[in-house]
Structure 1
Amino acid sequence: MRFVEQVMGMPASIEVPDQAAAGAVFGWLRHVDRRFSPFRPDSEVRTGRHSKELTEVLDLCARYERDTGGAFRVQLPGRPLDPCGVVKGWAVQRAADMLRAAGVTEFCLNVGGDVVAAGRPWSIGIRHPDHVLRVCAVLEVDEGAVATSGTYERGDHIVDGRTGRPVRDLVSLTVVANDLTTADAVSTAAFAMGTEGIAWADAQPGCLVFAVDRDREVHRSAGLTRMLR
């Protein structure tokens, strides 16, 4: 059964055996949004009441800031703390872990285009950067996660923390990994690095990359060929 809700300011869909499993996932994601959203004045991010979970997220943010030489940052000069580049992947991966702990072995969870799949082969499309109703590639994933960072939904919103300027030499960067915490964080961090982030992401343990630059040239990991349909 497929269930769809608007969660964390974006569409979320889940294919699971029953409604109870879907309800638990959506409830968890709403809980995370209330606690960690930089847009809610009473959230932990805004009030500074950092729980163990938020500390875990911020530690991940610090790691990727260090590993990218400051290209990925959760707090730019003159702007409030914004860990959204890591929170979504972390939260959705936790939701997938909840499903597995409850005995659900076959599911596909998609939140804002970032996906965790399990139990059987699932076809996951990578949206075409110029045509909203088309895909530029389709991946077959049976166990793992796919996350994409790009400019086609929100424009030039990803900033290179080293320069303070929006990244414009990439339009889309997708990462495939074993878990969505890694896939989402690596895709966002790599995008912030610009075209040099493609090789950086490809070198991250367990990660495969599919990227489209501003000239619409495709760059992809050699290991991704077996997953392309």
Structure 2
Amino acid sequence: MIHADNRITRAWVEQIMGMPISLHVRADDPSRPDITQAVASTFERLRLTDSVLSTWRPDSDVMRWRRGDLALEDAHHSLREVMALCEQASSETNRLFTTDLIGPDGTRGWDPTGLAKGWAIEAAVERLRSVDGIAFAVNAGGDITCGHGGEAVGCPRPWRIGIENPIDRSVVSHVVSIIDGAVATSGTAARGNHIVDPRSGKPAGCVGSITVGGPSLLWADIWATAAFIDPTVLNERAEWADYRVLFEQRI
């Protein structure tokens, strides 16, 4: 017999990486000590990542390294891991993903912002995946990853995710349902025309947004950015068939 998912949902919110990050957990008793400890560990991992990879913090490892104040071998190991991922992202997207950006301080340099958030969330939720009997969803600025800890319970309820209209943000244009997986959106709605087309060195020449879904928030975010610049890029990569455009609106 398949049992309905009647678990209780509890939410936590913290301001990290310059945005509110909400963490929702479904469990028979979401106040269980192992759950609250896992939630605390998840947020702590995100704070650590912010201290290493944020280009908004002059004391972060990446900014100290850029200024020559910190040797790469002395930086937190996650900086080197993210550097390797940035190289892979650039290669996989036909160089549509770039780290050569002008940062918030006005200086140009190596900037992992295009994948740092997705990488940070995926790394942080590993702690939640070890907790039995829960389902979870983490929302970081509209990019969302969902999953469960241990074995899936009964017939789990999907998380319903609304995708806002990039032209009129008061309107939900599309809804997707996810049990395990992620969605990421790139576009101009929240931060204006900030996505740089590496081929020209100028902002991508359109207004709107594109949402990509797939198994990993890291790669959903990477492909959303690349597809906003060139909507055909995912069509050319059969090996990335698990990632697809869920919604697109541009003018």
TM-score by length of 1: 0.84
Aligned to 2:13: 4
| Structure 2 counterpart of 1:141, from 178, 182, 195 | 178
Between the aligned partners of 2:41 and 2:108, the Cα distance in structure 1 is 34
Kindly indicate whether residue 123 of structure 2 is the aligned counterpart of residue 94 of structure 1.
Answer: yes
- The 3 A distance-change label for structure 1 pair 168 and 203 is farther
1:34 aligns with 2:71: no
Give the equivalent residue in structure 2 for 1:59: 84
Bigger Rg, structure 1 or 2 = 2
- Give secondary structure in 2 for the equivalent of 1:132: coil
Q: In structure 2, what is the equivalent of residue 162 of structure 1?
A: 199
Q: Which amino acid aligns with 1:145?
A: A
- Sort the Cα spacing of 1:132 and 1:153 in 2 relative to 1 into closer, same or farther, 3 A: same
- Point out the more displaced range, 138-147 or 37-46: 37-46
CA contact (8 A) 1:168 1:194 kept: no
Q: Tell me which residue corresponds to 1:189.
A: 226
Corresponding letter in the other structure for 2:110? L
Where in structure 1 are there 5+ consecutive unaligned residues? 216-229
Matched positions, count: 214
The C-alpha deviation readout for 1:103-146, integer Å capped at 9, x for no partner, is 36311111111111124311011111122222110001011111
CA shift digits 1:162-184 (9 cap, x unpaired): 11110123521111111212211
Structure 2: tracts of 5 or more residues without a match? 1-9, 66-71, 149-155
1:21 aligns with 2:63: no
Give the CA deviation at 1:83. 0.3
- Distance change in 2, residues 1:179/1:188 (3 Å): same
Q: Given that residues 170 and 212 in structure 1 are in contact (C-alpha distance below 8 angstroms), is that contact kept between their aligned partners in structure 2?
A: no
Task: Provide the identity percentage.
Answer: 38
SS in 1 for 2:110: coil
The Cα RMSD (Å) is 2.1
Whether the 8 Å CA contact 1:4–1:14 is kept in 2: the answer is: yes
Aligned pair 1:204/2:221, yes or no? no
> In 2, distance between residues paired with 1:160 and 1:202?
23
C-alpha separation in 2, matches of 1:76 and 1:47? 16
CA offsets 1:60-103 (integer angstroms, 9 cap, x no match) = 11112123332221014861221011110011011221111243
